[in-house]
């Protein structure tokens, strides 16, 4: 069914109008006075008329009126293109036979989609493609706003959104969607990633990432780069060959556009298997957890791990450091802990745990509406698990009879 809100016949005719404007820029007016230009216009108008004439019942009132205007225009154009009575009427007869055939067979040009239908199909496919690209790169939060502006046929636009990271840090993304033609086809061109430090704005960092063939860094990978970590990515070398390399932002150097320069370490120069050899990380003991750990490190993630020190498992973090050729072990504050310091760290944690166990749970005095007195009664727990109060005599121990067992207990 046709949409009543859109005059499709007018839409299809505007395509030819746009085509003629392009011809005006290429050819001089006297060069466009030949019969071939008039015939091309006539054939296009006739194809549009045939497309919708067989579907007259489905047309809106405005479209039916436009169809009558088009029919009158075809009569004038036919006289200019086909000179002579016999030639003109022979062409009319051939055209009439084609229209009758279209109505009988319910096929042919009368039932092929018009330009508007094709454009709508292309726009729908384009929207699905951009939706998939955004979803594959972890930018689902921006999809509703991107689709809304695409449906409104907006010019090139930018969609911002933010994600709370932790500890006063916020990640902001600005997606640049470029309109490539007048039919409403869009392209995800690039995006800007920002890392905001709420308590220390001087540490804020930003970097722009291009989208090539619908491929770019994922949102979390961009954030990991801005955090200062390295990720492993396929890149193109000077010879045009795709190689895998570790990349990291150099916060001390910028290029001409103001973007941070990259530090690259070839993957063959930093092997995770060799770097992980000998590390007391429990996740390296099984193939599944080992693969999960390595995948996270390649994506630039700070991976939670359990480090074995003596008989203890300490919860820490691991991150790839390709420039140093090793895997760093971090504490809960994300500060590096050298391997030589692990025994002392384990001893410190053990001492803290021992002190906590010796102190035991503390019993707080009950709250009352009366103000606290200097000789407030102390608390004790009887065998019936009920809390009561007695003033203790420092000189004479209190002896209380336990009625359930007929015995006494000294407190």
- Which pLDDT belongs to residue 88? 62
Q: What's the angle, vertex CA 184, arms to CA 182 and CA 188, rounded to 5?
A: 115
Rounded CA separation 156/149 (Å): 9
Q: Assign 352 to helix, strand or coil.
A: helix
CA 155 from chain centre, in angstroms, equals 21
Rounded CA separation 189/400 (Å): 83
Q: Assign 334 to helix, strand or coil.
A: coil
Tokens coding 294: 């390595």
* CA atoms within a 13 Å half-sphere pointing along the CA-CB vector of 317: 17
What per-residue string of b and e applies to 28-56 under the rule 16 or more CB within 10 Å gives b?
eeeeeeeeeeeeebbeebbebbbbbbbee
- Which pLDDT belongs to residue 368? 41
- Which pLDDT belongs to residue 375? 37
- Which pLDDT belongs to residue 98? 62
Name which of 167, 162, 185, 187 is nearest 176 in CA terms. Answer: 187
- Which pLDDT belongs to residue 130? 95
Span between the terminal Cα atoms of the chain, in Å: 92
Rounded CA separation 232/320 (Å): 10
Domain coordinates in residue numbering, the chain: 8-112, 126-227, 229-355, 378-410
Name which of 48, 169, 66, 160 is nearest 109 in CA terms. Answer: 48
Name which of 5, 115, 97 is nearest 52 in CA terms. Answer: 115
Q: Cβ contacts of residue 280 below 8 Å, gap of 6+?
A: 307, 308, 309, 342
- pLDDT, one tens digit for every residue, the chain (411 residues): 334 457 888 888 887 787 778 777 787 777 766 677 777 888 888 888 877 887 778 888 888 888 888 888 888 887 777 776 666 677 667 666 665 665 555 444 433 456 667 778 888 999 999 999 999 999 999 999 999 999 988 889 999 999 998 878 999 999 999 998 877 889 999 999 999 998 889 999 999 999 988 999 999 999 999 999 999 988 877 777 888 899 999 999 999 989 999 999 998 899 899 999 889 999 999 999 999 999 999 999 999 999 988 778 889 999 999 998 999 999 888 888 888 887 777 777 767 666 666 665 554 444 444 444 333 333 323 333 343 333 434 444 444 444 454 444 443
- Which pLDDT belongs to residue 294? 95
192 strand-pairing partners: 174, 208
* CB-CB neighbours of 27 under 10 Å: 13
């Amino acid at each position: 069914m046709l949409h009543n809100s859109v005059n499709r016949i007018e839409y299809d005719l505007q395509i030819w109008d746009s085509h003629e404007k392009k011809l005006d820029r290429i050819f001089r007016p006297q060069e466009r006075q030949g019969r071939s230009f008039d015939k091309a216009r006539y054939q296009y108008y006739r194809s549009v008329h045939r497309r919708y004439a067989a579907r007259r019942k489905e047309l809106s009132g405005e479209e039916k009126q436009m169809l009558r205007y088009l029919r009158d225009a075809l009569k004038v154009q036919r006289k200019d293109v086909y000179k002579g009575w016999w030639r003109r009427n022979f062409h009319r007869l051939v055209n009439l036979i084609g229209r009758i055939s279209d109505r009988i067979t319910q096929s042919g040009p009368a039932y092929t989609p018009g330009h508007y239908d094709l454009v709508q199909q292309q726009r729908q496919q384009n929207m699905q493609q951009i939706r998939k690209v955004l979803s594959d790169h972890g930018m689902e939060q921006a999809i509703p706003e991107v689709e809304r502006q695409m449906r409104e046929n907006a010019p090139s636009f930018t969609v911002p959104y933010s994600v709370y990271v932790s500890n006063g840090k916020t990640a902001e993304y600005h997606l640049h969607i470029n309109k490539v033609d007048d039919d409403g086809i869009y392209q995800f061109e690039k995006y800007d990633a920002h890392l905001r430090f709420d308590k220390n704005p001087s540490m804020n960092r930003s970097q722009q990432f291009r989208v090539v063939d619908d491929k770019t860094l994922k949102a979390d990978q961009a954030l990991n780069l801005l955090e200062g970590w390295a990720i492993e990515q396929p890149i193109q070398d000077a010879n045009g060959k795709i190689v895998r390399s570790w990349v990291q932002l150099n916060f001390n150097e910028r290029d001409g556009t103001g973007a941070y320069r990259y530090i690259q370490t070839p993957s063959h120069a930093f092997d995770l298997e060799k770097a992980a050899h000998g590390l007391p990380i429990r996740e390296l003991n099984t193939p599944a957890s080992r693969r999960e750990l390595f995948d996270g490190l390649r994506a630039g993630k700070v991976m939670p791990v359990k480090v074995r020190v003596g008989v203890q498992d300490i919860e820490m973090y691991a991150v790839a450091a390709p420039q140093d050729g090793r895997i760093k072990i971090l504490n809960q504050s994300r500060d590096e802990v050298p391997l030589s310091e692990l025994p002392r760290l384990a001893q410190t944690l053990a001492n803290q745990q021992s002190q906590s166990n010796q102190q035991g749970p503390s019993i707080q005095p009950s709250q009352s509406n009366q103000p606290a007195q200097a000789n407030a009664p102390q608390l004790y727990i009887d065998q019936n698990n009920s809390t009561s109060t007695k003033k203790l005599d420092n000189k004479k121990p209190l002896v209380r009879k336990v009625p359930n067992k007929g015995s006494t207990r000294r407190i």
